Amino acid sequence: MNCPRCAQAMRAHRLDGHLGREVDIDVCTACQSIWFDAQESLQLTPGAILTVFRVIGENVTRPAPRDGDVIRCPRCHGQLRRTQDLQHNTHFEYARCPNQHGRLIAFFDFLKEKDFIKPLLPAQIAELRKYVQAVNCSNCGAPVDLALHSECTHCGSPLSILDIAQAERLVAQLHAADDRRTQPVDADLPLALARARRESEAAFEGMPGHAAWSHDMWSLGTVGAGLSALMQLIRE
């Protein structure tokens, strides 16, 4: 299937769903988007969510500015409608088919929907300003001048960071349901997540000499930097 947003070829992934069903998703790494048929995002098991999380982490790139382009459903070619939603206290958005065929969601918004993202604390932003003049918005890719702003002036997204604790909670859920689990958890993942939590905390306590969070990594955006660091730890 070609991506509704950028027309590049998407890669299909078959994941575990609830009640023993399988869920097919299509991932576009070119524009960092995911297509879900119907309500399949809601049907993903914790293990499947972790799989998508890892797919996103392994393909994270510097976000490109995105505008409200007219995009059409790959099933019926109807114009997708921009839709805003709320998960707990976190706002996210996606483009949905008016005929209920599915929806297209950006990597960043999928992470928000699944509680993998949390806003930076004021103290973290103040610490970041000491070492970085600007970062790219993790949502739209626009530059954010840290001397003047703590949110993106293009799309309004607050500066955010990866919530490693959510990934740890998902791993704990999988281990708690070990007898029913069909999708195994990488044995190194719990340790890598714990190390990633320490790395992300240390990144805001003094960047110079901090190997895992280089200035180049910050160009991925604050969320992308966290994902990139986590993938490095998992691969070690």
* Axis crossing angle, helix 221-235 with helix 189-203, rounded to the nearest 10: 140
Domain membership of residue 106 (yes or no) is yes
The reply to whether 92 and 139 lie within a common domain is: no
Domain membership of residue 5 (yes or no) is no
The reply to whether 139 and 74 lie within a common domain is: no
Domain membership of residue 48 (yes or no) is yes
Q: Which domain holds residue 217?
A: 117-235
The reply to whether 78 and 129 lie within a common domain is: no
The reply to whether 129 and 230 lie within a common domain is: yes
The reply to whether 168 and 210 lie within a common domain is: yes
The reply to whether 31 and 95 lie within a common domain is: yes
Last residue of a domain, one of 84, 113, 142: 113
The reply to whether 178 and 87 lie within a common domain is: no
The answer to whether the beta carbons of residues 95 and 103 sit under 8 Å apart is yes
* Span 187-210, pLDDT tens digits: 666 666 777 766 666 666 555 444
Total domains in the fold of the chain: 2
* Span 139-167, pLDDT tens digits: 888 889 999 999 999 888 898 888 888 88
Last residue of a domain, one of 113, 148, 183: 113
* Span 1-37, pLDDT tens digits: 999 998 899 999 998 888 778 888 999 998 899 999 9
Q: How far is CA 90 from the centre of its chain?
A: 13
pLDDT at res. 26: 95
The reply to whether 55 and 84 lie within a common domain is: yes
Last residue of a domain, one of 113, 130, 148: 113
Spatial CA neighbour of 39 closest among 94, 118, 107: 94
* Span 63-118, pLDDT tens digits: 665 555 678 999 999 999 999 998 777 889 999 999 999 999 999 999 999 888 88
Is the pLDDT reported for residue 173 higher than 80? no
Q: Which two tokens stand for residue 103?
A: 């929806």
The reply to whether 229 and 151 lie within a common domain is: yes
Domain membership of residue 3 (yes or no) is no
Rounded-to-integer distance, Cα 120 and Cα 53, Å: 20
